[in-house]
Copies of this chain bind each other. A is one copy, B any other.
């Protein structure tokens, strides 16, 4: 236990964002090329220091979302991933980062001439087997964010956050396939999602023009928790050795 003159040490606080979206049926993450040291020129997650001692951490994540990605936090899903506080993770000193996961519908390229101009969408597939590195411990944060997304679309309605407000069941299926990296049977998927009570609510009018028969449109219903869950097929398991 500390004596009475002991003062607790202070740390610097940053937020980092794993922003995911679907582009051309592939999962992408928004990354920036760092313009300053440390890690100048390397890829990193968007983020930054909290603005002042009174700023809420969640508000800081919303602000960075706006400043670095031109995205409005009220229009997308934003949840905390966790705190990353290992000493030495940032060469500038003791910096603890609170990471957030954001999920956005398909979006245009970040506009040049804005603060977001250094940002670009990269396919997550390029980072999947350690093929490409990121600054700081951002590789770990990205992996944690991906696993969170993969896991949460199983038993929550999170997958709809990748879609526009109204969407077809085929569009929703493309989300699951991109995030999980598995192909799914469209006929079974169609019935499975509709069988979950209050997950999807039909939207009557404005159907879109496609090639074949037009699809029905849906929006998310009140049910956030999926029962039964959408179970992802297991990857090739080689543990078939029980009797």
Chain A interfacial positions (CB closer than 8 Å to B) = 1, 8-14, 49-58, 67, 80, 82-83, 85-87, 94, 96, 98, 115, 197-198, 223, 227, 234, 237, 239-240, 242
Contacts and interface: CB of A to CB of B under 8 A. Distances in A.
Contact of A198 (B1, B11, B82, B239): B239
Secondary structure of the A side of the interface? loop
B87 A55 contact: yes
28 contacts: A8-B49, A8-B50, A9-B12, A9-B49, A9-B50, A9-B51, A9-B52, A10-B11, A10-B12, A10-B13, A11-B13, A11-B53, A53-B87, A54-B94, A55-B87, A56-B86, A56-B87, A58-B85, A80-B82, A83-B83, A85-B98, A96-B98, A197-B237, A197-B239, A197-B240, A198-B239, A223-B239, A227-B237
Contact of A10 (B10, B115, B227): B10
Contacts of A50: 8-9, 11
Count identical subunits in the complex.
Answer: 2
Nearest to A14: B8
Given A53-B87, A80-B82, 13 more contacts: A8-B12, A9-B49, A10-B11, A11-B13, A13-B85, A13-B96, A54-B87, A57-B85, A83-B83, A85-B98, A96-B98, A197-B237, A198-B239
Most chain B CB neighbours (cut-off 10 Å) among A9, A12, A49, A50: A9
Nearest to A11: B13
Nearest to A195: B242
